[in-house]
Chain A
Amino acid sequence: MADTLLKVRGLKIEGRSDETWMPIVNGINFDLCRGEVLGLIGESGAGKSTVGLAAMGFTRDGCRISGGSVEFDGIDLVNAAARTKRDLLGRRIAYVAQSAAASFNPAHRLIDQHTEAPVQHGVMPRSESESDGIELYRKLRLPNPNEIGFRYPHQVSGGQLQRAMTAMAMSCRPDLIVFDEPTTALDVTTQIEVLASIRKIVEEFDTAAIYITHDLAVVAQMADKIKVLLKGDEVEEADTREMLSNPKESYTKSLWAVRSFKRPQKPAVQTASVPVVSVQNVTAAYGKVPVLHNVSFDMHAGRTVAVVGESGSGKSTVARCITGLLPPTQGQIELDGVPLPSDYRKRDKSQLRQAQMIYQMADTALNPRKTIGELIGRPVQFYMGLTGSERRKRVEQLLEEIELEPSQYYNRLPSELSGGQKQRVGIARALAAEPKFIICDEVTSALDQLVAEGILKLLARLQDELNLTYMFITHDLATVRSIADEVVVMKEGRVVEQGLKEEMFRPPHRPYTDLLLSSVPEMDPDWLTNLLKDRGVDNIGDAALDKMENESPG
């Protein structure tokens, strides 16, 4: 371990914005030995990816290394000629990108892209690299390793692509691989499989790695040591176990504590009470493609129902049915025991008012040309009929509710707000209609953890004050744990399990819920090792899903 492979000293990076160079990274130091894995963590804007790329001697357009040194095996990458760097990249230093679907060239087959680096660098001839690729696919437990490489990227699923990309990074047996959030875009059950593959192959070839992520639990499984970044500054660095058990800096502690927010479970509802919203035997389709099959669940006043499931499970489609954007082909939606017209165009204003929505991307959900006052004022005027100073008073009141100072924010545009503040405006806009029921569609998944926690706390407070009912769509089980009263688990357009949160998180589970729950990484560095030992490699991810399908067809 004494053999230092990568030495980064005082690394400073600037980015160009508005004709001036602004600092992005202000002096980062680290060493990486052969076979060692360094985890870089931090929130968005911390400079993790920029540092990761700079460790390869690469900067994106509009960025430059303004100071410090990056030394790879005695070669100064900051001052090296482009040709020298090209010779190292791909051959001795490789990269695994966040979105494999976007980072594979859509015009070429996987194996052609796999063999490109070895052939171009003269490491091995095409045929040898091809059979080596197939061998790597097998090691990474890709299905049909012999033929999967001969497919085009769009013909392969996201998790498989991510593993194929790891295989591609390995194609020249590099000394160092930079993993840039390789599992962030994946579902939990797929993520765990990719994590297991990456860890296995990095260990097997004794490759050094930089693992960039914002997810602490993930980095705990992968890294030997962890470095925490905040807005381009390094906060602290320590061995993984040391860092988890004994963080020193207050920022690190706050990151660690994020998941501590947890609302107490409310008791089960009386069977006699009428649910605020009741989804009854809803079946729906996009054109001829069926998406929902006989979905039923109730949501009661003052409670939060979390609808969980992986991408494509139909969570958001249920929301579209409830709001009337997608009229179901069968079944109905009841509001306070009264059936709602299936099409929103046939609903009257008071029915429309009762169900509001908060969206995942506050950026795109707010009209960038309208001020905050106008954005919130419109539903106030439309639903409540308030105008002039009354309208303004109500908007200011709503801004206070979401903890934004009215005098400061009333006339601002969305672009002048941070991500968390925009999401708060989205909440205020929903509240302006004074609804009973709010659909929160992945409202925290685009936000950093600390900010997300603030939003969850705000939603919880508003619920207590206004007796709101939330339908909380999410794929993040940690969020479910902190805010939900009831949980509905969906898979392929069907409800596979529903019940009180406490019961859901306590065994025995249905097999799918069990798989989902067990796939969520925990902060314990031995979690993945233990899980693989307990379940075996065949009982995680796609393999486990396939098994489940074979056991219970349909």
Chain B
Amino acid sequence: MASILKIIAQRLALGALTMFVVSVVIFTAVNLLPGDFAQAILGQGATPEAVDAIRRDLGLDQPPITRYLDWLAGALQGDLGNSFAQANFAAFVGSDAGSGLSSVAGQIAPRFENTIFLAGVTALFAVPVSLTLGILAALYRNSIFDRATNILTLSSISSPEFFLAYILILFLAVMNPILPSLSNIYEGMGFGERFTKTLLPALTLTLVVTAHMMRMTRAAIINLLASPYIEMAQLKGISPLRIIVKHALPNALAPIINVVALNLAYLITGVVVVEVVFVYPGIGQLFVDSVKIRDIPVVQACCLIFAGAYILLNLTADVLSILSNPRLRHPK
């Protein structure tokens, strides 16, 4: 066990280092964006004096290193700064922006919660469905079932997300009004209603991520079927389903876990299009809007959260696949 804890500690430290590097990259990239908030908000007719004044108020006149260190120090203490766009300008000109609305954390928190909710509901469908399909496809490999599953999942992953979304809306909301086509979620909504409203985007995303996970499950299992221990199980008269589930699957977990983690990370960071189609108030929309108006603190915070989600999920996948190896769980 001690060795596993050590591995986890090592991975965490590596994760922290990666986060630091990512923060540098994010800051540099965001600052390389042409134009800044002062110009964007004041428009073309702005006087240089007014632009300078806002820059000074927002600290944009400081050298980049100072701004980076300020931002990093704040982020480490959980303070992601204040949103430019939502800030009350009087507050900027005056002493300080104290209201919760203008803080980046306050803006992001409800959106992020929605995103996690959507990702969670999607994972709830997608992971079991793709694992089951993958196992069945491995069991009936090269059969009609295997091919049909492959064709269906591949065509769903190859179609654009918005196209899938509109098809689902057409069938499940317009022609058969079973589910609501708009996912306008707001705070204080009951869980049941929230869940129903999330179903359509979740189904769309399920169609998008299933193919990858299902095909990896199938491939990882089939890859092992030539192993001597699978032949041994066959020669013990074990049924094919049990061979796949008991003998192949436990040894195929590592690659499957990694693909699942990658897809979960995608569900958190890459679903803007689906959010837009269903008017789902997730973090993706907020991110795109903030880039448009150069609301740098929000953009940076979103990037940081995306990076964190990726790193954390991959770390979890790493640790889980290490744990799935009996040699590490039970040392000599």
Contact = CB atoms under 8 A, between A and B. Distances in A.
A90 B237 contact: yes
Contacts, number: 78
Interface string A91-102: 100110101001
Contacts of A88: 237
Contact of B326 (A61, A94, A106, A116): A106
Contacts of A99: 228
Interface string B212-239: 0000000000000011110111111111
Contacts of B237: 85-91, 117, 120-121
B228 to A, nearest CB: 4
A410 interface: no
B238 A90 contact: yes
B226 A61 contact: yes
A152 B229 CA distance: 14
A131 interface: no
A121 B233 CA distance: 13
A285 B174 CA distance: 74
A86 B229 contact: no
B285 interface: no
A117 B226 contact: no
Given A105-B229, A106-B229, A154 B326 contact: yes
B247 interface: yes
Given A106-B326, A154-B327, A155-B332, A58 B235 contact: yes
B327 A103 contact: no
A509 interface: no
Interface residues of A, number: 31
A61 B227 CA distance: 12
Contacts of B56: none
Contacts of A152: 326-327, 330
B229 A102 contact: yes
Contacts of A94: 235-236
B227, B228, B232, B233 pick with most chain A CB within 10 angstroms: B232
B228 A107 contact: no
B192 to A, nearest CB: 40
Contacts of B239: 86, 120
Contact of A102 (B227, B233, B236): B227
A327 B232 CA distance: 43
A101 to B, nearest CB: 9
Contact of A97 (B231, B242, B247, B332): B231
Contacts of B232: 95, 97, 103-105
B326 A56 contact: no
A347 B239 CA distance: 60
Contact of B238 (A97, A102, A103, A120): A120
Contacts of A106: 229, 251, 326-327
A393 interface: no
B244 to A, nearest CB: 12
A60 interface: yes
Interface in A375-393: none
B229 A104 contact: yes
Interface of B: 226-229, 231-239, 242, 246-247, 250-251, 326-327, 330, 332
Closest 10 CB pairs of A and B: A89-B237, A90-B236, A90-B237, A107-B250, A95-B235, A102-B228, A103-B228, A105-B229, A86-B237, A103-B232
11 contacts: A58-B235, A89-B234, A89-B235, A95-B232, A103-B229, A106-B229, A120-B238, A120-B239, A120-B242, A154-B330, A155-B332
Given A89-B236, A105-B229, A108-B250, 19 more contacts: A53-B235, A60-B231, A88-B237, A90-B236, A94-B235, A95-B236, A97-B231, A105-B247, A106-B229, A106-B251, A106-B327, A107-B326, A117-B238, A120-B242, A151-B330, A152-B326, A154-B330, A155-B330, A155-B332
